[in-house]
Amino acid sequence: QQWRFALEEIDGSVQDAYAQRFKALVEERSGGDIEVLIYPYGTLGTSAQLSELIQNGTLEFAFASPGHLGSVVPEVQVMNLHFLFSEDNEANAEVLRDSPTIYGPLADAYMRRNLKLLAMIPEGWMAWTGNRPLRTPEDFQGFRIRTMVSPLLLEAYRAYGANPAPLPYAEVYSALQLNTIDGQVNPIFAIEEMSFYEVQDYLVMPRHLQFVASVVTNPQFYDGLDAETQAMLQDVKEELDDYIFQVQRDYNAERLNVIRENSDIEIIELSEEEREAFHALSLPVRERYVEMTGEQGERILEGLQEEFAAAEAGEFV
Ligand code: 6CS
């Protein structure tokens, strides 16, 4: 049989590395019974369209990042809340790997929309790029920042005073080039591979949010697999959790060097004091999240906060 796996990113991306390794492991462990076909971004549709193809069973596997999926599964927008993740990326990775909250109540929220959550993976710290430096909330006044389409992301940037503009990924480069937007936010590897740095003057590192992406499958397809194949998928997920953590770390570090070598973009790391101004403004957005998602969402938010704290203290099991 053939399993189709669609990506929200192009060849050479973190999602591509994940899917390539997924393909190798699945094909080997199924003894050649299963062939995995990978569809990079641009071949099947936008992130939102990929999720629909999973929901209606046209596709078997896809990446679904919370920044887009929030329109369908509001609860997943907890992953878009600024300054919620730990500063310690190993702690973040531990939570994403084994979180009782993510693979419990959050997975239930996916399931209510006919999506089965298989994995939640880190892709690195998000950075702002702009045609002006973004050190303070004042710098964001009237700034047209492209965001992914989840409603909470718009709230997050409105809280800083910006004018957020949701757009599909494929439209970002030309919108920056044509100046219909002033900036955007993405992890470093993506800013390099999508060439955004070529049309931007500043690259700002606020460490306000990790980019994470979920791997989803169609529940009816999954239920139709025999127990052995389901167990194989779980083993593959666990192996890939460790692999992808290293990939995203390396890609983000290497490609920052590529950006430095190929452009004169100014790179700005925000100080703790500068970050604190954004942190303070981001906190009311957590209340908006709870308003949007009710008790279920509140439980997810609290669960994750506890898990990040436990992981930071080395007490996450
Ligand atoms: O900004 C976006 O829309 C996209 N960014 C990344 C790094 N992956 C997928 C997502 O759709």
Delimit the domains of the chain by residue range.
Answer: 2-312
> Which of 213, 67, 188 is closest to 128 using CA atoms?
188
Segment 105-143, tens digit of pLDDT:
999 999 999 999 999 999 999 999 999 999 999 999 999
- Please give the number of the atom of ligand 1 that sits closest to the Cα of 8: 9
The pLDDT assigned to 46 comes to 95
* Ligand 1 geometric centre to CA of 147 (Å): 9
Stretch 159-181: mean pLDDT, rounded? 97
Mean pLDDT score, 74-80: 98
Ligand 1 pocket member 186 (CB < 6 A): yes
pLDDT tens figures, 55-70:
999 999 999 999 999 9
Given this model, what pLDDT does residue 40 score? 98
Q: What is the mean pLDDT of residues 275-291?
A: 98
* Residue 317 pLDDT grade (very low, low, confident, very high; cuts 50, 70, 90): confident
Query: What's the distance, CA 194 to chain centroid?
Result: 16
Which residue is it, tokens 């009710």?
Answer: 294
* β-sheet bridge partners, residue 63: 215
DSSP 116-170: EEEEEEEEEEEEEEESS---SGGGGTT-EEEE-S-HHHHHHHHTTT-EEEE--GG
Decide yes or no: CATH 3.30.310.50 for domain 2-312: no
Statement: residue 175 has pLDDT above 90: yes
Residue % of the chain over a pLDDT of 70: 100
Please state, rounded to an integer, the average pLDDT across all residues of the chain: 97
Is 211 close to ligand 1, i.e. is its CB under 6 Å away?
yes
The answer to whether 310 touches 88, Cβ cutoff 8 Å, is no
Give me ligand 1 centre to Cα 68, in Å: 8
pLDDT at 16: 98
Cα 243–chain centre separation: 17
**Span 1-57, pLDDT tens digits:** 999 999 999 999 999 999 999 999 999 999 999 999 999 999 999 999 999 999 999
Could you tell me where the beta strands, DSSP code E, fall in 18-115? 35-39, 61-64
Residue nearest to atom 3 of ligand 1 (CA): 169
Number of residues in the chain: 317
Q: How confident is the model at residue 302 (pLDDT cuts 50, 70, 90)?
A: very high
Q: What is the pLDDT of residues 241-251, one digit of tens each?
A: 999 999 999 99
Which atom of ligand 1 lies closest to the CA of 189?
Answer: 7
pLDDT at 39: 98
- Cβ(248) to ligand 1 under 6 A? no
- What would the two tokens of residue 295 be? 């008790």
CA angle, 177 then 69 then 110, to 5°: 170
